Structure 1
Amino acid sequence: MRAIYLENINTPFVLIDKEKPLPGSGEVIVQVKAAALNHRDVWIQHGRYFTKEYPAILGSDGAGIITEVGAGVDAQWIGQEVILDPSSDWGNNERAHGKDYKVLGMPEDGAFAEYVRVKASNIHVKPEHLSFEEAASLPLAGVTGYRAMFTKCGLRQGEKVLVTGAGGGVALFVVQFAVAAGAEVWVTSGSDEKIEKAKALGATDGINYKSENWGKELKARAGGFDVMIDGAAGEGFVQLVKLANPGGRIGMYGGTTGKIGQLNPAEIFWKQLAIYGSTMGTNEDFAAMVNFVKEKKIKPVVDRIFPLEETEQAMRYMEAGKQFGKIVVKP
């Protein structure tokens, strides 16, 4: 089979021929129809991820058709269109993953290939309203956003939500999920064009965080927020604390702009704020997310589709940060 191979840190992704995997007990083989990129893949390429086991076949997000099943798996799964849950071995503590937690695509071979081997417990029937490209866009970013907003922050209908960095995969799912849940959604972005696109998805409005005093301007226009979902951290996080309503919740799933600046503790304890860290999600989070997408007929935003052999070019496109939605590769 054809697969995308990463030999070592700071080497390019290259196309290779590799032996097709065989299913073990409790496993299935999925013919990959589409796979999606995550920033995790770029971080691994640059050696900035906590797992470093090279060479590797990456790819956490995938959708396809089951072609083989191992012992203990019902043969009726063969031919089923499925979406892959990339998380394994979360552990017994629902609040945080354990030391054995793994994500598909390092250390185990991922979905940047014509076939991938996964546990049968990690497959879910693909929602019928989704194409393979849309379904492949959903797993890692979708479950990350779902857990941060619903499992951790407990979003309720009618609340006001702020989503930072609209344009990235997780942020866009949070926008779509919050709108579908009946929340009033505002966004931030460094691009006015991306704000307009977020409004087309149902956001009320947004503000460009490159503008001076954006926090004060947003406060004047929108008031405070009950829930804020952030993947940037950095100096902008200080503004989120100021924008939070009393009893507000902040869910953070990343820190692309670095360490958080000077926070005023009184703003946190006097307003009785809750700040939650969140990473990926449990198998239960994933199942709930897929059901939510199916029930609300949510369609992931796909920015661009590349052929599998152009995965390296797709990575550089994502690293440039110009996309709005998910980037997909197709075998």
Structure 2
Amino acid sequence: MKALVHAGKTGMEGLAYRDFEKPEPGAGEVRVKLKIAGLNHRELIILERHKETEPPLVMGSDGAGVIDAIGEGVAGVKAGDEVIINPGVGWKEKSDAPPPGFDIIGHPFQGTFGEYIVIPAENALPKPSFLTWEEAGVVAVAGLTAYRVLFTRAKIGEGMKILIPGIGGGVATLMLQMAKAAGATVYVTSRSEEKCKSALDLGADKAFNSDNDWAEELGGEKMDVVIESVGAATFNKSLSQLRPGGTIVTFGASAGDVVDFNLRSFFYGQYNLLGSTLGSGEELGEMLKFIERHGVRPVIDRMFALEEYKEAFDRIEKAEQLGKIGFIIE
């Protein structure tokens, strides 16, 4: 099969579109012939995390396609079923944190950036009929991450005020739509005037330039929840916008992962600091039901052929996208 494989060197130099052995399903597994795969910021991290001494790796955590082979003992799915892939392996039920042994497709397991992938049968979910193939192939990682942050961790609800710094990526755009569907008031920031305008079109109550004075832009209003994925560059600005007793949830650190903040001010403010990453299979099912009920769809930025991977990776590394970037596999 053809696949996007990382091997031999760290970083982009180790990435190549080439022939790779077609996998065969074992007991309890299915093979999926992929139609669409989604590119996430996680892949930029994997480019550095996957070392040259490790076996060649097909990257990619998001995907949708058709089951074309099943292994021994598989029940409940069959060849010909249209499915989306649950990217998390070993985290079935909602819990405070992932259980021991939890991992994500695309590292250390072989991923979705190829014509075929073998996964545990339980990780193949029926493709929602309300989503196009393009939407289904890019929704799992971003949608699951957004859902757990908002509802499992932050426990947002109607009338709450939410701030999402750095709008633009797939998680943030889905988060905006989900929070609005739940009845929250949502504010967002971006350095891009175009992304601010697009966020307003998606339902944001206010969108403003990240370089401006946040307190002034918010008119002195304090937030119930701030969702942090930028990291060191914005963390303290985010923290300063919380009401006493408010919650900040962090799930990313694209602009620095080491933060200094005033601990005394933090505990006097009675603030809550929560971490989150991806989510369980149970939450993925809840997320899909939620977006169907509320008519939420992932925003598609651009679709690329898999051999156009350099352009796609460059676009996400420069944060030029609004919504999700995907690969057309067939």
Structure 1 and Structure 2 fold alike (TM over 0.5): yes
Give the fraction of aligned pairs with identical amino acids, expressed as a percent: 37
Shift of 1:250: 1.0
Cα distance in 1 for residues equivalent to 2:195 and 2:71 = 45
Matching residue of 2:224: 226
Change (3 A) 1:305 1:167: same
In the TM superposition, what whole-angstrom CA distance separates every residue of 1:219-242 from its partner, at most 9, and x where no partner exists? 316x11111111012142112222
Shift of 1:201: 0.6
In the TM superposition, what whole-angstrom CA distance separates every residue of 1:48-74 from its partner, at most 9, and x where no partner exists? 479984421001000111111112223
Q: Please state if 1:297 is matched with 2:299.
A: no
Task: Please tell me whether the aligned partners of residues 94 and 279 of structure 2 are also in contact (alpha carbons under 8 angstroms).
Answer: no
Task: Please tell me whether the aligned partners of residues 186 and 206 of structure 2 are also in contact (alpha carbons under 8 angstroms).
Answer: yes
Cα distance in 1 for residues equivalent to 2:92 and 2:99 = 5
Cα distance in 1 for residues equivalent to 2:204 and 2:262 = 29
Matching residue of 1:3: 3
Which of 264, 268, 271 matches 1:270? 268
Q: Please state if 1:144 is matched with 2:145.
A: yes
What does 1:311-322 correspond to in 2, within 5 Å? Answer: 311-322=309-320
Change (3 A) 1:52 1:152: farther
Task: Please tell me whether the aligned partners of residues 237 and 260 of structure 1 are also in contact (alpha carbons under 8 angstroms).
Answer: no
Unaligned segments of structure 2, at least 5 residues: none
Q: CA RMSD in A?
A: 2.1
Matching residue of 2:188: 187
Which of 237, 241, 244 matches 1:243? 241
Change (3 A) 1:149 1:143: same
Cα distance in 1 for residues equivalent to 2:131 and 2:53 = 33
- Normalized against structure 1, the TM-score is what? 0.92
Cα distance in 1 for residues equivalent to 2:46 and 2:120 = 23
Shift of 1:180: 1.2
Task: Please tell me whether the aligned partners of residues 241 and 267 of structure 1 are also in contact (alpha carbons under 8 angstroms).
Answer: no
Structure 1 counterpart of 2:229, one-letter code: G
Residue range with higher mean Cα deviation, 125-134 or 235-244:
235-244
In the TM superposition, what whole-angstrom CA distance separates every residue of 1:181-228 from its partner, at most 9, and x where no partner exists? 1111110111121011011111111121123xx22213316x111111
Q: How many residues align?
A: 327
Matching residue of 2:40: 38
Residue range with higher mean Cα deviation, 85-94 or 180-189:
85-94
Task: Please tell me whether the aligned partners of residues 44 and 52 of structure 1 are also in contact (alpha carbons under 8 angstroms).
Answer: no
Cα distance in 1 for residues equivalent to 2:178 and 2:323 = 14
Q: Please state if 1:216 is matched with 2:218.
A: no
2:230 match: secondary structure:
coil
Shift of 1:90: 3.5
Structure 2 counterpart of 1:26, one-letter code: G
- Deviant stretches of 4+, over 6 Å: 49-52
Cα distance in 2 for residues equivalent to 1:162 and 1:49 = 34
Unaligned segments of structure 1, at least 5 residues: none
Cα distance in 1 for residues equivalent to 2:51 and 2:174 = 25
Change (3 A) 1:122 1:66: same
In the TM superposition, what whole-angstrom CA distance separates every residue of 1:247-290 from its partner, at most 9, and x where no partner exists? 21111001122145543334422332211011111222222112
